[in-house]
Structure 1
Amino acid sequence: MGLFSKDIQTMEDLLVHGLQDIYYAENQIVNALPKLIDKATNRDLTKGLKDHLEETKKQIERLEQVFKKLDQKAQGTKCPAIDGLIAEADDVAAEVADKEVLDAAIVGSAQAVEHYEICRYGTLIAWAQALGHDDIVRALNTNLNEEKAADKKLSTVAQRKGVNRKAAS
């Protein structure tokens, strides 16, 4: 079912499709993060990615509860956006030989993924509110706040923990 598919007839259909999209995305991220963790050399970056991997698993559990509250099966729908961001991260990580530059590239790739998630969760929250699904807004807000915090931590690692500075020297 594509975003502008005939299968999406109502706002409720749109919300469910968006939830399937982010559910797929979160599961793809769980699969992709271990590869980035293995390639990262900066201790703060590695720890941040490991922490976010565990957080992402909890986000998936929350999404499963959201599906349950909507009487929907928790399932994903292919998301070309997240697939592209993950493929780009893999490509860049494979091309960079210098470990400091690689860490900076990993931060950039991870932030691209976080920004996608922030966008998607913000939209889902707005749709859920419009539909009166206050029972799921809290779970979606929790996930959104965690994504924003992860993005902020990545910025801190890049700027204050020296990843960008080391890559530039």
Structure 2
Amino acid sequence: MKNLTELLEHEIKDLYSAEKQLIEAIPEMIEAAKNEKLKKKFAKHLKETEDHFNRIQEICKKMEINPGSTKCNAMAGLIEEFQGLLKEKSNPEILDAGLVAAARRIEHYEIAGYDSAFRYAKALKLKSVKKSLKKTLKEELKAEKKLKKLARKKIIKNARD
């Protein structure tokens, strides 16, 4: 990459792939979760993820970026980790605690990506791109905060021996 515009384009392609992979993976998380509040949180996040993916598609159109076959290997790894958790013989409360941890790791990855892309767009004075990225960043931060609160108040408490 030769400049900040190319770095932003790379980040947008990565986020496109990450969101696309999540849309496919979140239904597995919903099905695996035993706690009803956690199931609802995952279902809500699936809808948000679809919105995030639509925003990234719009950014691609505005910036004339073809995400092509770009694959976010980091997201693939995070998804693989949570899928490995599903293969473990855990009791439901422990599985829920593990799912929350996996979901929070995913959120942290997305937060880092959206924050970086937002800052690049801001530096490049791409106002509409910056605005879209900031909106998604705020939603990701809010989702992580809610997962953390749910984990602290319900999920981890239920998982204690």
Q: TM-score range by the shorter chain?
A: over 0.9
For residue 141 of structure 2, give the secondary structure of its aligned residue in structure 1: helix
Q: Provide closer, same or farther for how the CA distance between residues 143 and 83 of structure 1 changes in structure 2, counting only shifts above 3 A.
A: same
- Unpaired runs of at least 5, structure 2: none
Alignment partner, residue 98 of structure 2:
105
Residue 68, structure 1, aligned to residue 66, structure 2: no
CA RMSD of aligned residues (A): 1.2
Alignment partner, residue 165 of structure 1:
157
Equivalent positions of 1:2-17 (< 5 A) are 8-17=1-10
- Partner Cα distance (1:159, 1:86) in 2: 23
Superposition deviation, residue 119 in structure 1: 0.5
Superposition deviation, residue 141 in structure 1: 0.6
Alignment partner, residue 140 of structure 2:
147
Q: TM-score, normalised by structure 1?
A: 0.91
Q: Provide closer, same or farther for how the CA distance between residues 48 and 126 of structure 1 changes in structure 2, counting only shifts above 3 A.
A: same
Superposition deviation, residue 34 in structure 1: 0.5
Alignment partner, residue 33 of structure 1:
26
Deviates more, 1:59-68 or 1:110-119: 59-68
Superposition deviation, residue 73 in structure 1: 2.9
- Partner Cα distance (1:96, 1:25) in 2: 28
Counterpart among 1, 10, 20 of residue 13 in structure 2? 20
Counterpart among 54, 57, 60 of residue 50 in structure 2? 57
Deviations 1:90-135 (A, max 9, x none): 1012214200000000000000000000000010011111111112
For residue 69 of structure 1, give the secondary structure of its aligned residue in structure 2: helix
Higher helix share: 2
- Partner Cα distance (1:156, 1:28) in 2: 25
Which one-letter code corresponds to 1:53 in the other structure? Answer: L
For residue 72 of structure 1, give the secondary structure of its aligned residue in structure 2: coil
Q: TM-score, normalised by structure 2?
A: 0.96
Superposition deviation, residue 75 in structure 1: 4.1
- Unpaired runs of at least 5, structure 1: 1-7
Alignment partner, residue 87 of structure 2:
94
Counterpart among 129, 136, 142 of residue 122 in structure 2? 129
Counterpart among 40, 47, 61 of residue 47 in structure 1? 40
Which one-letter code corresponds to 1:165 in the other structure? Answer: K
How many residues align? The count is 161
Which one-letter code corresponds to 1:134 in the other structure? Answer: K
Alignment partner, residue 78 of structure 2:
85
